[in-house]
Amino acid sequence: MPRRSLARLYKDEFSGYSFTKFQQDLLAGLTVAAVALPLALAFGVASGSTASAGLVTAIIAGFVIGALAGAPYQISGPTGAMSAVLMLLVQKYGLTGIWVAGLMAGIFLTIIGLLRLGRFIAFIPSPVITGFTSGIALIIFIGQMDNFLGVKTTGADSAALKFIGYFKGGFTPDWHAIVLAGIVILTMVLWPVKWNAKFPASLLGIILATVLNAALNWPVKMIGVIPQTLFLADRMNFSMIPWANLGDFVAPALTITALGAIESLLCGAVGSNMTGIRLQANQELIAQGLGNILIPFFGGVPATAAIARASVGIKSGGQTRLVSIIHAVGLLLSMFVLAPLMARIPLAGLAGVLMVTAWRMNEWEGIRFIFGHRFKTAMITFGITLIATITLDLTQAILVGAFLSGAMFLNNIATLEVEVTEVDAEKLRQRGIENAGQCKHVRVAFLTGPLFFAATGQFNEAFTKLGDTHALILSMRGVPLIDASGLEVIHRLYEKIHKQGSTLMFAGVHENVRTMMERGGLVKLVGEENFFWSSDQAIVEAEKRGCYFCSSSLTLG
């Protein structure tokens, strides 16, 4: 299963591997490391932990998750979306909360992958994901306003309340911090895209802000000491697990699980479109799970696949998962070589990186599509999910968005069209059916739409008045599915027809619908002889059987 799948991935990936391909992987890996370094530091701080924790997370994820990933282009580490979740978790439970919930999420992800349930993650509607992503972007942006302004304000239960708090005053912005953050923001915005591939704008902005701050010795907060070890002093151990209160961490762990799975599979979708290589979703979830089980014991924060890093690796010519491993080696070397310099990076500079990242992480193309075409259901779902994300717990936000979208989708598909018609003899004769129309008591009901619990009322209403009918043909070519409630209303219609001495026939029944009818005993009840490939065949047979009814009138309903 997963092991054989991973073996096949390795075989396909490294078949014909050469020194030239290794050179491409090496260059791509170092390029990704340059992009990942400032992001790892920034997301570590943004999560409520430390820059060191973000760096350690990127290194461990690069090695472990990269080696086990479901595609060669997947590169994992701390991300902005995950930081937004963790920020609120730290406020409530401290760093222990991150580690415990992260460990549990790793276990959940592994189980989901082993049970091969990865495809169910795709059932979350696009407007929900887009609204959730935009809400998270706002959480990150608002969460960095303290560092941007160089102040320390009181915490709040939600990002919305935190943002409102800034308008109440009570603090004096530090212009030094604003200038440093502004330098980073302007660098990232104005740096040409074609140059960004050779030298990341975020890294350049951090360097400029750090050099300026060091030269002028401004009184701003800095990252501080970067431990030159993978095993941070503050890290998880089994004695920290609050066994008595473990239930408190289930909800945040499920949020991390859902977010980790969604981000990783979305990253895989983007990578697949760019390379043509399909992501093995369940293997990817196993990799994410095992990586997140290990990371807390190093003192890191939960990780997931990152679209930005994976895209850079692909565009830089990366060929295999060695890109992820080489990027991890690059970050590890930077920890030992550049630690003294990284310690002097101003937090305001990292705030600038995160604010621009928050703006860019919005799915602007999807937002323009939804609002440009005025899809009301999608617009409402997007808006409510976004508002729920910045005002409620993130677990509740996902549930609210998914429930709302599901309810609206159900409302849209619950329309069953039933058109009951007399036999049009002239049209049928034009198609070579000569005896059509000889019996005036054959009616055809054309059904369009799924026949399930939400559509049974429309079905019943359509057959309240049938008039004189000796044979009713249900043309079901437009019925893609049926459930137990649908079978029940057909069963009642059959009893009603049968009691009057008439016949119920079926035409154009889909295979899956036919299977449900067989399971429900309806085929046996109605009889195989009353099922036809087309309504034309059913009409001919109904008229053959029922011409003697023409002299009588059978009134139903």
Whole-Å CA distances, 262 to 46, 156, 284, 431: 20, 27, 11, 52
Stretch 367-378: mean pLDDT: 90
97 with 61: CB under 8 angstroms?
no
Q: Residue 498 — very low, low, confident or very high, per pLDDT cuts 50/70/90?
A: confident
- Specify the 3-state DSSP secondary structure of 392: coil
Residue 87 CB neighbours (<10 A): 21
Give mean pLDDT, residues 42-50.
Answer: 90
Say what the pLDDT of residue 153 is. Answer: 87
Residue type, 458: Q
Q: Which of 5-14, 56-65, 269-278 has the highest mean pLDDT?
A: 56-65
pLDDT averaged over the chain? 87
Band the pLDDT of 557: cuts 50, 70, 90. very low
Model confidence at 507: pLDDT above 70: yes
pLDDT of residue 430: 57
Higher pLDDT, 212 or 431: 212
Domain ranges of the chain: 2-11+20-146+162-190+200-211+220-409, 417-556
Q: What is the pLDDT of residue 556?
A: 38
Q: What is the pLDDT of residues 54-94, one digit of tens each?
A: 999 999 999 999 999 999 999 999 998 888 888 878 888 89
Residue 345 reports pLDDT greater than 50:
yes
| Predicted confidence band of residue 132 (pLDDT cuts 50, 70, 90) | confident
Q: How confident is the model at residue 110 (pLDDT cuts 50, 70, 90)?
A: very high
More confident residue, 1 or 101: 101
Q: Which residue has the higher pLDDT, 387 or 397?
A: 387
Residues 148, 351: contact at Cβ < 8 Å? Answer: yes
Cβ contact 51:61 at 8 Å: no
Q: For residue 148, name the pLDDT band (cuts at 50, 70, 90).
A: very high
Q: What is the mean pLDDT of residues 510-537?
A: 92
Query: Over the range 116-148, which residues count as b (16 or more CB within 10 Å of their CB) and which as e?
Result: bebeebeebbbbbbbbbbbbbbbbbbbbbbbbb
Q: Say what the pLDDT of residue 408 is.
A: 73
Could you read off the pLDDT of 433-446 as tens digits, one per residue?
555 555 557 889 99
CA dihedral defined by 135, 139, 140, 145, rounded to 10 degrees? 140
DSSP-assigned states of every residue in 375-387: -HHHHHHHHHHHH
> Which class in CATH covers the domain with range 417-556?
alpha beta
pLDDT at 464: 82
Helix (H, G, I), strand (E, B) or coil at 13: helix
Confidence of residue 550 (pLDDT cuts 50, 70, 90): very low
Most confident range (mean pLDDT) of 133-137, 183-187, 308-312 is 183-187
Mean pLDDT of the 478-490 span: 93
Q: In the predicted model, what is the mean pLDDT of residues 527-556?
A: 71
At residue 128, the pLDDT reads 80
Q: Is the pLDDT assigned to residue 552 strictly greater than 50?
A: no
Could you report the per-residue pLDDT of 151-180, keeping only the tens digit for each? Answer: 988 877 788 888 999 988 788 999 999 999
Judged against a pLDDT cut of 50, whether residue 3 lies above it is answered with no
pLDDT at 96 over 80: yes
225-239, 292-306, 389-403: which range is least confident on average? 389-403
| Mean pLDDT value of segment 197-215 | 92
Q: Which two tokens stand for residue 311?
A: 């895209």
